[in-house]
Structure 1
Amino acid sequence: MTEQTEFRELTAEEVTLKLDPKSFGFKSTQELEPLTEIVGQPRVVRALELGTGIRHPNYHIYLSGLVGTGRNELITHALRERILDDSIPDDWIYVNNFDEPDSPLAISLPAGQGIQFRTEMESLIEQLQESLPKAFKEEDFGNEKEKLRQIYRKRGEEVFDKLQKQAGQHELTVQQMPNGEILFIPLKDNRPMTQEEIEKLTPEEMQELESHQDELVGMAGRVLQEQREIQRQLSVDVREVARRFAIQIVDPLVNELQQKFKSPKLKDWLSHFKNHVINHLNLFRDTADMPPQAAALLAAEGGADPELRFMDYRVNVVVDNSHLKEPPIIVEDAPNYRNLFGTIERVVDRAGRVITNFTRIKAGSLLKANGGYLILNLMDALIEPFVWKELKRTLKNQSLEIQIQDH
């Protein structure tokens, strides 16, 4: 026969645990350090040790538990205690792509060098703003330009003299108007005829005059074309002189940066930067020294504002790890598309247009956690539009695309 266990009703006094507060060794729980260890969960500890020990991109850790149990704090502390590699991940910067401006270049640099490079570039631009205008005002530069002007002025005069000589054979003189138009004026006694004298010519004389003028018009067209070509070549040669003077200033400064920063991709960008500066010297000229049309064009493009004028040379540091002493552990409390993957901000310019550029690229928590750990609430990520699919694609391809997100 089976024995039956007897039960009895317990009193409230019997089920109440009585503790003496003096036995705790503290007056208030505020005096205690927060609990960081995982207590009573040996499987969780083993799983974390296994997960953090696997150095492979296709392995991730999923932690489940009740709300309010301090999962974020516990997993953060557990990761920090079990980090095997103390190397600090690289900084990430964006710079202008001089060949394809719509595709800015992302460059990684050792931690701390992102901010350093941005500071160096700002200093370099300031130096060029000061040094290049001075070079264009130096006596040697002015003498070189004047020599070229004299050479091409002589060529222009020789071309015009040929036309003048040809016209003289028909008793005509050549007069060039300020707008470039060429007139053929009949001569009388080696002086230009007055309008009254021209009106007194006989029909036969007028017909002969017009015939000679028509004959010279074709030659005048060729003369104008040669003059334009001479002027164009003068501009080319003057720019080449300016380039030569500028290279003497720009080369040493850029070479110094290329020696300081060892990234091959950055060295290549600096070479493109140098070429862009040499080919866009008007950016560094004083507008007072520029032709009116060139000065007006520069002003229309925002040349009066140094920030806009030198936008192509700015450095956008999207991830700065200079403050880290260990791989980053990023907790993303709101894993929406923008916060996770980053975005490209847009602004309204003076004309009311919505624009953007590479300096408006902002990193998300996924890029900030690159080389470290990202902690997020899986359920939050699943219910956010487009997040879960893009997160899987990014982790699988090991490639992050930052884009404007309108949804």
Structure 2
Amino acid sequence: MPTLPSIKHCLLGYRELGFSTNTRRVLRTWRPGQAPQPEVLFQARALRALERGTSIPDKEYNIYVAGSPGLGRTYLVERFVHERARKEPTPPDLVYVHNFTDPDRPVLLSLPAGHGRILKDMLQRAMRRLRRDLPRHFEKASYQRSQSKLLAQLASAREDLMGKMEETAGRHGFSLAIDSTGGIALTPLVEGKVLTSEEYDRLDAPRKRDIKAQSSAVLTALSDLTRQVNRCEQEFRIQEQRLETAHGASLVDRLLAPVRRKFAQHKAVLTHLDQLREDILENLDRYQGRPEHEPKTPQEPSPEAYLDSFFQRYEVNLFVDNAETQGAPVVQEINPSFANLLGCIERETEWGSLYTDFTLIRPGAIHKANGGYLILRVDDLMGHPLAWEGLLRCLRTQLSRLEDPSDHFDSLRTHSISPEPVPLRVKVILIGDDETYEILYANDERFRKLFKIKAHIQETVDRDAASIQAYAHTLDAMLRHERRRPFTKDAYAALIDHATRLAEDRTRLALAFALQREVMIEAEAVARARNVRVVDAEIIRETLRERDYRNGLYHEEFLRDYDRRIIKVRTHGREVGVANGLSVTQIGEYVMGLPHQISCTVGVGHGGIMDLEREAELGGPIHTKGMMILKSYFYNRFAQDKPIVLSGSICFEQSYAEVDGDSASGAELAALLSAISGVPIRLDLAFTGAVSQSGAIMAVGGVAAKVEGFFEVCRRHGLSGTQGVIVPRDNVDNLVLKDEVLEAIRAGGFHIYAVSCIEEAMEILTGMRAGVRCKNGRFSPGSLFAQVDERLSELARLAERTQPRRKNRRSAAARE
């Protein structure tokens, strides 16, 4: 191995790759329950946003909680909101009742929490008793006597008037007869006897004319008496109705009196009771089983069915019941369809047609959360465009109008009702990711106006003693909440180390508690299979290995191809113009790093450096940018005193899929410098890192997976003790490696080099000094860059030497 001072400086030891804080040492003094409210430490920024958003009652200050799935977004919001809601007042109940003035516009009543249920129960009991007792109430002797008295008065008046009518008819020589329909018939009298029709026919014409004239005069005289009879009957009916109303009112008032006393302070309820009383008294005949409509066909419902339908108007629709609510309501709707979110007016089939009334008005989540908090997931809500539009409309107007979603389309509308709108005072909290927030913010002006608070969910937190203990407390709380088997402190330590690996940073902890919960569940299953009562660190490590094995099929297939040398990647020896690069691929939750051979060829010509991935349309835009930066560095370093005249190409060997990212630009530059200088590169090393125009090696992603991927290939090919990976120095904190890799580094069988510039990387790869430019414009003698510079000068001379021949051939072709 080269012993250049810079190489020793770049080599990382086992201690440098360990975690900054010893997890087990920190947890040694930790006790469950000693770190309350860890979310205050983990999500201070999000909690401050939630605090500010919930403290502002204005309609524009709804909240969008943004973060990646698996970070406990919903748990954080629910915990915060429930704690805050307990301290807030309970909102009132909402009930819909029949509008006796306009039945198509049901009336909304607001009552103190719990009173809606009381009103409904009291009115139901009163109406049941009224329907039961009112028919018997009219059978009382007092009422029967009063009614009989009125009938007697009517009969007496009728007899007097009928006697006067008979007397008047007899005085004029006629007999009076009244048929069953109340019609009057006059028959002439001759010598006190009724004149028969045969006798009448034998009379002469003058006599007949006299009888007709006299009958007309008699009828005129009797008409006044007839009107008096009709007035008597009408007066009887009025008095009978008054008697019936007065008698029924005594029972109605007695049954409604408890309701009036209970709701004496609610004017709207008293107004409704007055209208209800008036409607009952106007329809007393229905309580006595005398429906106005009789069925005409057997298919029509019975009179009892008509009566039941009629009595629905006296029901109370308990729209929102807060009797059991403590503080402000907190509602989370997991299926925010239009009806589930915004409520609806249901319809029933009655006598072959659709029917609806105020009893079929159903609340939505926004009504149940009124006066409190409504929690929705954006991905659920976006699946229901009409619900989203309706939600924004409700928030903008602070009113909820119960309507049919079909009303928003140009279709034939059916008859419906228009309930009184519900005033809203609700705080909506949407839970989603950052990408959806940006889309809504950029494309929906209403969203910008109504969701002014964004709460960012933090993905990682600093790894220190306080956060480690708080993390352990959170895991322990999850365990106790789900009543699982106990975990040892070492098990918690293993989970916390796994959180550091998930964060891909030795100084951070990933707050992916959903993923940690999965590990805990699977670890408990392993303990159960072993018949062990306590989960320890070894079970956690076995669980993690099992998860890797379960998800690593594709990785294993690739490694098999490396073993069989189908994928040509060498882990021993040296070669000119060839370097080992590293790539990372994620399949589901599994991340695998794989080495790739990068080769470069250079020759005389004017074609420049060609990126074969781009030419084949397999290179993504970031990869193309990395190649352009590589060329910029190359020209800036070596084209100060001469033109760069060459023809070369760089490619990923055996790469048949799209390549993107700039993490291989450092290895590509190393292969190019090797191909030009003729200095071979070590193939027992792999190189990952992005190069800048100044030659700095910059941080890349997935560095731990890349190191582990190359280590696994080397292990399968046989560890030589010289193999390793060159990484950017800025990525050192991201080297959260598996135990087997760390053990190999501890034993000296594998090495990690951290570099800051391409010069350091080339010295490690070639064993030569990179060299610096001297005052005479040349590079340090015997250095790598000096050989590159000399070779470029030679290529320029060779290209210049062939230039006249090309010109002569072009001139001859032109003359011909």
Which protein has greater RCO, CA pairs closer than 8 Å, 6+ apart?
1
Aligned partner of 1:403 in structure 2 is: 403
Aligned letter for 2:240? V
Cα 1:317–1:303 change in 2 (3 A) is farther
Structure 1 residues 197-218: Cα deviation after superposition (integer angstroms, max 9, x where no partner): 3333332222211222233344
1:9-88 to structure 2, matched below 5 A, reads 37=39, 40-83=42-85, 85-88=87-90
| Bigger Cα displacement from structure 2, 101-110 vs 254-263 | 254-263
2:39 and 2:127 map into 1 onto residues whose CA distance is 52
Shift in Å, 1:86? 3.3
Could you give the per-residue CA deviations for residues 305-359 of structure 1, whole angstroms, max 9, x where no partner exists?
A: 353231111111111111212211111222232122110100110x211110000
Give 1:112 shift. Answer: 1.5
CA contact (8 A) 2:85 2:372 kept: no
1:156 to 132, 155, 158: 158
How many Å apart are 1:70 and its aligned residue? 3.2
Kept in 1, the 8 Å contact 2:150–2:236? The answer is yes
Task: Tell me the distance in 1 between the aligned counterparts of 2:232 and 2:388.
Answer: 65
Cα offset, 1:238, TM superposition: 0.4
Look up the SS of the partner of 1:205 in the other structure.
Answer: helix
Which one-letter code corresponds to 1:140 in the other structure? Answer: S
CA distance in 2, matches of 1:236, 1:67: 75
Q: Which residue of 2 aligns with 1:198?
A: 200
Structure with more of its chain in strand, by fraction: 2
SS at 2:185 equivalent = strand
Of 276-285 and 79-88, the range deviating more from structure 2: 79-88
Matches of 1:41 and 1:19 in 2, distance apart?
21
Distance 2:405 2:130 in 1: 38
> Quick one: structure 1 residues 68 and 190, their matched pair in 2 at CA, closer, same or farther if it must change by over 3 Å?
farther
1:275 and 2:278 matched = yes
Per the alignment, in what secondary structure is the counterpart of residue 404 of structure 2?
Answer: coil
* Structure 2 SS opposite 1:173: strand
- 1:92 deviates by 1.0
Aligned with 2:175 (options 173, 176, 181)? 173
1:107-122 → structure 2 map (5 Å cutoff): 107-122=109-124
Shift of 1:224: 4.6
Aligned CA distance change for structure 1 residues 201 and 68 (closer, same or farther; 3 Å):
farther
Could you tell me which of 3, 6, 11 is aligned with 2:10?
6
Indicate conservation of the 8 Å contact 1:164/1:173, yes or no.
Answer: yes
Q: CA deviation at 1:103?
A: 0.9
Q: Is the 8 A contact 1:303 1:309 kept in 2?
A: no
Query: Residue type of the partner of 2:334?
Result: D
| Distance 1:117-1:41 versus aligned 2 partners, 3 A rule | same
- Contact 2:330–2:374 (Cα < 8 Å) also in 1: yes
Aligned to 2:349: 348
Greater displacement, 223-232 / 60-69: 223-232
Q: Is the 8 A contact 2:85 2:330 kept in 1?
A: no
Whole-Å Cα distance in 1 between the matches of residues 385 and 178 of structure 2? 72
> Equivalents in 2 of 1:178, 1:193: separation in Å?
22
Structure 1 equivalent of residue 436 of structure 2: none
Q: 1:38 to 1:270 in 2, by over 3 A?
A: same
Distance in structure 2 (CA, Å) of the matches to 1:39 and 1:222: 100
CA contact (8 A) 1:49 1:82 kept: no
Equivalent in the alignment of 2:329? 328
Q: Quick check: 1:93–1:316 contact (8 Å CA) kept in 2?
A: yes
1:308 corresponds in structure 2 to: 309
Amino acid at match of 1:327: A
Contact 1:173 1:184 (8 Å CA) reproduced? yes
Does the alignment pair 1:266 with 2:269?
yes
Residue 189 of structure 2 aligns to a residue whose secondary structure is: strand
Q: Does 1:359 align with 2:359?
A: yes
CA distance in 2, matches of 1:397, 1:54: 17
Tell me, yes or no, if structure 1 residue 102 matches structure 2 residue 104. yes
CA distance in 2, matches of 1:36, 1:89: 31
Cα distance change, pair 301–228 in 1 and its aligned pair in 2 (3 A)? farther
C-alpha distance in structure 2 between counterparts of 1:319 and 1:233, whole Å = 49
Using the alignment, how far apart are the partners of 2:74 and 2:193 within structure 1? 100
**What secondary structure, in the 3-state scheme, does the structure 1 residue paired with 2:150 have?**
helix
2:103 alignment partner, SS class? coil
2:659 equivalent in structure 1: none
- Structure 2: give runs of 5+ residues left out of the alignment: 29-36, 410-816
Q: Give the corresponding residue for 1:135.
A: 137
Name the CA shift for 1:83/1:320 in 2 (closer, same or farther; >3 Å): closer
Distance (Å, rounded) in 2 between the aligned partners of 1:219 and 1:106: 60
SS at match of 2:308: helix
Partner secondary structure for residue 137 of structure 1: coil
Provide closer, same or farther for how the CA distance between residues 7 and 40 of structure 1 changes in structure 2, counting only shifts above 3 A: farther
Q: Is the 8 A contact 1:52 1:83 kept in 2?
A: no
d(CA) in 1 for partners of 2:39, 2:286: 60
Question: How many pairs are equivalent?
Answer: 385
Distance in 1 of aligned mates of 2:239 and 2:153: 11
* Displacement of 1:231: 2.3
Task: Give the Cα separation in 2 of the matches to 1:217 and 1:190.
Answer: 20
Displacement of 1:250 in angstroms is 1.6
Q: TM-score, with normalisation over the residues of structure 2?
A: 0.44
> What is the CA–CA distance in structure 2 between the aligned matches of 1:301 and 1:173, rounded to whole Å?
50
For 1:36 and 1:360, locate their aligned partners in 2 and report how far apart those are by CA, in whole Å.
46
Deviation at 1:373, TM superposition (A): 0.2
* CA shift for structure 1 position 169: 2.7
Unaligned ranges ≥5, structure 1? 25-34
8 Å contact kept, 2:99–2:105:
yes
